[in-house]
Amino acid sequence: MERLGSSSTDYVCLPRRYDSIETVIDGAHHLADLKADETTNDQFSSKQLMNVKVPEIVKPPTSYMRAITSQTKEFTPVDHILASYDMRNLSKFYAPPGSAEKAAYALLSLEKGSPITILTGFCVTAKLVDSKKTPVAETDGPPGAVLAGETLRKLSYSVSYVADPITCNVLRACLKSIQVADNCVHEFIARHDEKEQVEEAHRLINELKPKAMITGELSSRSWHDGIRRNMRGANINDWNPPVDEMLVQFKGKGIIIAIGDGGNEAGMANLKDNIPLALDGKTIMASGVYSDIPVTSWNSNLGFQAVASIAAAVEGKFELIPTADQVVKTIEAALDAGAVEGITLGKQENSLNGTYATRGVDGFAPSVHAADQDKLKSTLIQMKTKAML
């Protein structure tokens, strides 16, 4: 998830209980008339925020409420957690209810010891290093990938990780934070050249011999023009190598599970007809890379963790479900390794007066994500007890 665009004509999006003032209809944002004057970078003074007039009753359009109610009627308890934050149109392209459970069962259908390869990596900005622009990874992806992978390893699967070189450094830091060796991390090194990227994908597939691939928060080529784009519609090919070629070359050779939160992640092409345009209102950003089981979540880390946690719960091994403490440790490790929070890019001036956390994932502090994992674990224990898994 990347930082939203801003301009001097932006509307105030109020925090906490006033979030419901914004509604989404057919991919467009409709907000109450809460315009702030002379503002830049989504910044509003305390005085401006305090003096915003809020209508006594603000009701979302009936059509929106009907659509949401119809969708959530089929939700599993896990879906309610994965879809618990919907300020980026997640509900417009949410995967079929029960997809996380379906993904977990697909993995459990593999023989113990089977190789599973996990892919991630979405670089959201660049910084100068020795006078050279270097991509910067975001904190959504690597922490969840590592926690999911290590749960699956403890369930007796052979797990490897593949990412671009920048994200690999973050993955190694996350593994170290939970005291796991990093010799299972493999770098995908190829330019945006068809022959080169196909050869690199074949090299890694032949070396790792996966029976399944799990991808989450991996930058994907658009189905429209093949270019990797961020949420604003900007071309980000220069920051993100074609790691998604791994999925293209593996298709039909094993199970592909994909996790995403915005629709521009690899494996989300199954849902492309419902994925909204980029924030510029005109650019198609939806993924053009398919999966066997797409899983959507309000942040991809949580989606990763959910699939592996469900697998552990199905086998009655609740002690293998990632803990809240591990969630915090891996996110902090990612930040310390140079990854940035995706909305603010780690900058206070982009935080909307502190509405978004600058050290965290997708606008929220590590403690919020830890609480989600606690809630997920408790929910899965109850589901198992009630024979819902």
Cβ-contact 293, 106 below 8 angstroms: yes
Q: Over the range 167-203, which residues count as b (16 or more CB within 10 Å of their CB) and which as e?
A: bbbbbbbbbbbbebeeebbbbbebebeeeebeebbee
Quick one: pLDDT band at residue 71, thresholds 50, 70, 90? confident
- Would you place residue 181 in the very low, low, confident or very high pLDDT band (cuts 50, 70, 90)? very high
Provide the residue ranges of all domains of the chain, joining segments of one domain with +: 16-67, 76-385
Q: Are 143 and 312 in contact (CB under 8 A)?
A: no
What is the structure's pLDDT at 11? 31
> Distance of alpha carbon 354 from its chain centroid, rounded?
22
Report yes or no: 346 and 127 within 8 Å, Cβ to Cβ. no
pLDDT at 59: 56
pLDDT at 37: 34
Q: Which two tokens stand for residue 302?
A: 């949580």
Asked if residue 121 has pLDDT above 80, the reply is: yes
pLDDT attached to residue 20: 34
Determine what percent of the chain falls in helix, strand and coil, rounding each to the nearest 5.
40, 15, 45
For residue 19, pLDDT beyond 50? no
**What's the confidence (pLDDT) of residue 65?**
59
Q: What are the beta bridge partners of residue 185?
A: 161
pTM > 0.75: yes
How much of the chain exceeds pLDDT 70, in percent? 82
What tokens does 286 get?
């939806």
Q: How many CB atoms lie within 10 A of CB 237?
A: 15
Identify the CA nearest to 302 among candidates 327, 319, 326, 325: 327
Structure confidence by residue, pLDDT tens digits, 201-233: 999 999 999 999 999 999 999 999 999 999 889
Q: What is the dihedral of CA 193, 197, 200, 204, to 10 degrees?
A: 170
Residue located via tokens 């029976």 = 211
Confidence label for 72 from pLDDT (cuts 50, 70 and 90): confident
User: One-letter amino acid identity for 219?
Assistant: S
pLDDT at 297: 99
* Dihedral sign computed on CA atoms, order 328, 87, 126, 247: positive
Taking the CA of residue 110 as centre, how many other CA atoms within 13 Å lie in the half-sphere pointing to its CB? 24
> Domain 76-385 classified CATH 3.30.1490.100?
no
Please tell me whether residue 72 adopts helix, strand or coil conformation: helix
Instruction: Please tell me the least confidently modeled range out of 49-63, 148-162, 239-253, 301-315.
Output: 49-63
